[in-house]
Structure 1
Amino acid sequence: MSKVREMKQDELNQVMTIWLSGNKSGHPFISEGYWESHYDEVKEMLPSSTVYVWESNREIKGFAGCLENGYLAGIFVNPKDQGKGIGHDLLTHIQAKYEVVSLHVYKKNEHAIAFYKQHGFLLQQEKLDEVTQEIELEFCYTR
C-alpha cells in the first residue's frame, strides 16, 4: 500500500539520500560536487519546510518539499523508482493543498519542464542562476 504523508523527523537521512541521488541523476549538467557541497545545508534546512513523502511498504521512494507560501522547493524520486507515478502523486497532493504553487527548474531539465507543464504549470520568467551559471525557469500553478 502506498501513500503520501508528511515526513517524520527520523526519516530525514532516507530523504537526503534520495535528494542527493535525484539531483545527481536529474542534473547531469551540474557537477556532482555542487550537490555534495550543499548536502549539509539542505539537511539542516529541510525540517523547516513541509516535506511530503511517498511511501510504499514502509519504504520512502520519493518526496517533495514545500514552503508555507506554496513554493515547491523540489520533487525527488529515487532514480530506480522514476516513471512509476510517484512524482505525479506527490505533485497532485501538493496542488490539492495549495491554491497557488510556484517553483524553479533548470532550463536544461527538459523532462521536469514537460512534467510540470503536463500538470498545468505556466512559465512565468527565465533568469540566470548566478551560482550554477545555468538558466532557471520559474513556473506557477493556480488552482
Structure 2
Amino acid sequence: MMIMIRPSRPDEGARILEIWRGAVDATHDFLMPEDRRAIDEMVCGFLPHAPLWLAVDDNDYPLAFMLIDDGHMEALFVDPDRRGTGIGASLVRHGLARHPGMTTDVNEQNDQAVRFYEKMGFRPTGRSPMDGQGRPYPLIHLAYSG
C-alpha cells in the first residue's frame, strides 16, 4: 500500500472525527469520562475545519492526520487499525521537512506516544502539570533535536 500525504478537504470532517475518536479511545484510557466528552465536544467544533495534513491510502481514504500551527504540532492521530505501520512517522517526517525545529506536547500518561516521539528524535524541553484546558493531565513539551 502506498501512503500519500495531502491537505485535508472540507468534505472529510466526518472521517477526521472518526480517526480522532478511534485513536483517543485506543490510547487515552487515562481520561475521565466527563473530560473525554468535553474534549470531544470541543474537537467537533474545530477539527473538521482545521487545516490538516492527511495520510491517505491508494484510494485517497484518510488513515491519519496531523495539525501544525506555526511550527508546533498540535495533533497527530492515526486510525487505530493502522497504528504501528509507519503512517504516523511519515506524517511527522512530512512536518519536519517544513518545520525543522518542530515542537509538540504529549500527554505524560500516554506512554506509547512518549516513546514514539522519542524514537522520532524529539527531546523533552519541559513539563506542565495540566493540559491546555487546565485539566489534570500533565503534558511533556518536546522539540525535535534530530
Q: TM-score of the superposition, structure 2-length normalised? A: 0.87
1:31 counterpart residue number? 32
Matches of 2:28 and 2:135 in 1, distance apart? 11
1:114 to 2:115 alignment: yes
**Counterpart of 2:86 in structure 1: which amino acid?**
G
Counterpart CA distance in 1 for 2:13 and 2:43 is: 11
More divergent stretch after superposition (131-140 vs 87-96): 131-140
Moved more, 32-41 or 76-85: 32-41
Preserved CA contact (<8 Å) 2:10 2:49: no
The 1-side partners of 2:11 and 2:145 are apart by 33
Match of 1:60 in 2: 62
CA distance in 1, matches of 2:26, 2:33: 9
Q: CA deviation at 1:127?
A: 1.5
| Greater percentage in strand | 1
2: distance between equivalents of 1:103 and 1:48? Answer: 21
Q: Deviations over 1:80-116 (max 9, x none)?
A: 1101111011110001011321111111211111111
Aligned length: 142
Letter in 1 for 2:136: Q
- Per-residue CA shift, 1:8-49, capped at 9, x if unaligned? 110011001111121121111112442332223223323564
Task: Show the counterpart of 2:74.
Answer: 73
Q: Give the gaps of 5 or more residues in structure 1.
A: none
Note closer, same or farther for the CA distance 1:100–1:47 as it changes in structure 2 (3 Å cut).
farther
How far apart are 1:66 and its partner, in Å?
1.1
Instruction: Structure 2: give runs of 5+ residues left out of the alignment.
Output: none
Aligned twin of 1:46: 47
Task: Provide closer, same or farther for how the CA distance between residues 117 and 13 of structure 1 changes in structure 2, counting only shifts above 3 A.
Answer: same
Map of 1:21 onto structure 2: 22
Q: How far apart in 1 are the matches of 2:32 and 2:66?
A: 22
Q: Cα RMSD over matched residues?
A: 1.8
Contact in 2 for aligned 1:30/1:132 (Cα 8 Å): no
Residues 128-139 of structure 1: pairs in structure 2 closer than 5 A: 128-129=129-130, 131-139=134-142
- Identity value in percent: 23
* Paired residues of 2:96 and 2:102 also in contact (CA < 8 A): yes
Distance 1:85 1:32, change over 3 A: farther
Aligned-partner Cα distance in 2 for 1:3–1:32: 35
Note if contact 2:26-2:80 (Cα within 8 Å) is conserved in structure 1: yes
